[in-house]
Chain A
Amino acid sequence: MSSRDLILARVRRALADVPRDDTPYDQAFERGYLREHGDRSVEQTVDLLAENLADYRARVHRCDADGLAATIAGLLAERGSTSVVVPTGLDPEWLAATDVTRVPDRLDSTPAELDRVDSVVTACAVAIAETGTIVLDGGPDQGRRRITLVPDHHICVVRVPVQVVSSVPQGLERLDPSRPLTWISGPSATSDIELDRVEGVHGPRTLEVVLVSGE
């Protein structure tokens, strides 16, 4: 007997007490919890996102579509970045105001090469206000997972309010599970020393989120 069959047989024996007509999935439990917490206007939801991102030490910036290129250029300059990784589908306008070296997101670039790049600029798939979370789904304007991981400085652009939802349940509804997802809530952190939170370990130590309105 294969281990697969052995384990499945053990499971079935262990569940001898479960009746054949046990309650099916769609009736087995009540989702008595809330779809979102609190009653907010669209503007208030965006404000809450900004507040919660900042609470976990992301740096939050707000601008309109016309000011986006200048904002990004300013952030790269402030950081002193000389190079930036660019996802293949990123709107070229976003980088129109900066002359730092563009490094394309290529299949054959090695992690070590990425480690030498200063910054990365991406869009996102959705942002969740209640938890201060941005989610990347590897879309063309976000790129491969590693480009937002290895460089130490991540600038993520969120289109507000269209990309913002209130809650985790609403966020999951918008996401496609077949894509590789990365949920990001602030820069990398650890609680491993005396259970006290310290920001900055392996992921980007600086996370800047630009909330851009009126696209």
Chain B
Amino acid sequence: MSGGTFVGMPSFPKAAHEAVHNQTLRGNLRHATHTIRAKRANAVAEVSDWAELREAGKQIKDHTLRHLDRYLVQLEESVTAAGGTVHWAADADEANRIVTYLVKATGESEVVKVKSMATQEIGLNEALEAEGINAYETDLAELIVQLGKDRPSHILVPAIHRNRGEIRDIFAREMSEWGRPAPEGLTDTPAELAEAARVHLREKFLRAKVGVSGANFMVAETGTLVVVESEGNGRMCLTLPETLISVVGIEKIVPTWQDLEVFLQTLPRSSTAERMNPYTSTWTGTTDEDGPQSFHLVLIDNGRTDTLADEVGRQALRCIRCSACLNVCPVYERAGGHAYGSVYPGPIGAILSPQLRGTQSEIDASLPYASSLCGACYDVCPVAIDIPEVLVHLRERIVEGGVVTRDGAKVVLKPAKGHAAERAAMRAARWAFGHPGALRTGQRFASRTRRFHPRTLPGPGKAWSETRALPTVPAEPFRDWWQRTHGGNKSGGGAK
């Protein structure tokens, strides 16, 4: 029952072209993102020290990243001391091999899963399926995606592209194939849909022997893992099975228990716009006679250390996956999550995916351009990731090339192909702007030939003129007017 994958995705503009003209999708995204946008603003306005919380969150994460080696070792010690087992995976394949091995060792052939970005990133469900193990997603939105053989399009709400009517149809059509069918006469009211999911998944929770999760935070000092959720499916997966396997990116560490006081305030308000999410579970290794008696933590790199090596780009690792940047992004709202070709869509995805995966593929090379640099994402980010700054930095990497780290080794990237015309235009413009006389000649030429300017442009210019009229070139540029009217009595050439 694996969903679609992101392999071989077209570039962002190509993928977005279809989404922009899909009126149902546009309507679904507009409705959902505008609903949450207003609520988030209210939830944030409720706390008078938001700016200080945001700054502290940023600094805690930055400090942790700057000493990540030390905190990883400390975490390993704490988790081990509390009865857990720590595994290290350099890439997705290794992580999948470890989890598959651990599941097989229990003798089970099915697992229940809490929504986890890390396991989506490594394609764990597909890897388990290939080994004959069924992985059941239990988060409502993940269930919708999995039953619909679809791809996630949002970090918090992977099925945000589906409206209630579409969800009803998916449930009615698919549930019976995987367990308890949807009730007869299921309507599209959210309460009924949630009830259908409850009944469908309950039998899976009650018999599950193995749970797989991610984690929102790992506390180095205590070895505590934290999962923040709403539905209770997380509690089911973290509590009822005998074995728990948590797959977590190495950047999810905070140094101390006290540090949680920042993120447990900023994360719920940023993601679901709540003062506090309904359920937060914390566990430290195993607890006698309560919950899973076998606990495994799989720490994954999978491009994170490469990202860490970039002094500008590493701030993307501060991300706590709240998805506020998606909800506020005008590009995401119109292009939809699938266009980003990654489990990490939206503004954060546009800076994370090309760093985790490199910029070689068509989609990854196009992501840094999937933004008007409007800055709304930076404004709402609870850990103050300057997404526009990183986008521009990655654009530079693409057009200029240079030294980057891939799989732990430094490599020199060549300037990307396909930017030759742009590069030439930029160079020409730079030359003209360095020679005011030449600039003026060009301006005058444009003014004098203005009666002959076409109303639409051929070639790349068509991308502009198809939907927007061209500006009319004036009879004379400003500088000519200035010289005519003020030229005699002003310096005209700078103040020096």
Contacts and interface: CB of A to CB of B under 8 A. Distances in A.
Interface string B272-286: 101111111111100
Contacts of A41: none
A184 interface: yes
B101 interface: no
A189 B140 CA distance: 10
Interface stretch (A23-31, A59-67, A76-84, A91-99): A23-31
A195 B35 contact: yes
Interface residues of B, number: 100
B411 to A, nearest CB: 13
Interface of B: 28, 31-33, 35-36, 47-49, 52-53, 55-56, 59-60, 63, 66-69, 72-73, 76, 82, 88-90, 94, 138-141, 144, 156-157, 159-160, 163-164, 167, 190-191, 193-195, 197-198, 201-202, 205-207, 219, 222, 224, 230-233, 235-236, 239-240, 250, 255-258, 260-262, 264-265, 272, 274-284, 287, 289-291, 299, 301, 305-306, 308-309, 311, 314, 327, 405, 408
B56 A32 contact: yes
A202 B276 contact: no
A169 B15 CA distance: 44
A69 interface: no
Contact of A203 (B235, B256, B264): B235
B194 A190 contact: yes
Nearest to A207: B278
Given A23-B63, A145-B290, A188-B278, 8 more contacts: A3-B90, A3-B94, A149-B240, A173-B258, A186-B278, A202-B201, A202-B205, A202-B232
A111 interface: yes
A177 B289 CA distance: 17
Contact of B60 (A2, A23, A29, A37): A29
Interface string A1-45: 011101111111111011000110100111111100100000000
Interface of A: 2-4, 6-15, 17-18, 22-23, 25, 28-34, 37, 52, 56, 107, 110-112, 115, 128, 130-133, 138, 144-146, 149-150, 168-169, 172-173, 177-198, 200-204
Which 5 residue pairs across A and B have the least CB separation, nearest first? A203-B232, A29-B59, A202-B232, A14-B309, A131-B276
B194 A198 contact: yes
B105 to A, nearest CB: 19
Contact of A3 (B53, B89, B284): B89
Given A183-B276, A203-B232, A149 B194 contact: no
A25 B48 CA distance: 26
Nearest to A18: B66
Contacts of B90: 3, 6-7
A195 B197 contact: no
Given A144-B291, A186-B278, A188-B230, A198 B190 contact: yes
A193 B190 contact: yes
A195 B224 CA distance: 30
Contact of B230 (A52, A172, A182, A191): A191
A190 B408 contact: no
Given A8-B72, A111-B206, A177-B224, A149 B88 contact: no
Contacts of A111: 205-207, 240
B276 A185 contact: yes
A2 B88 contact: yes
Contact of B88 (A7, A18, A192, A193): A7
Give the one of A14, A169, A178, A186 with max B CB within 10 A: A14
5 contacts: A13-B305, A172-B261, A177-B257, A190-B140, A195-B36
A94 B233 CA distance: 30
A37 B190 contact: no
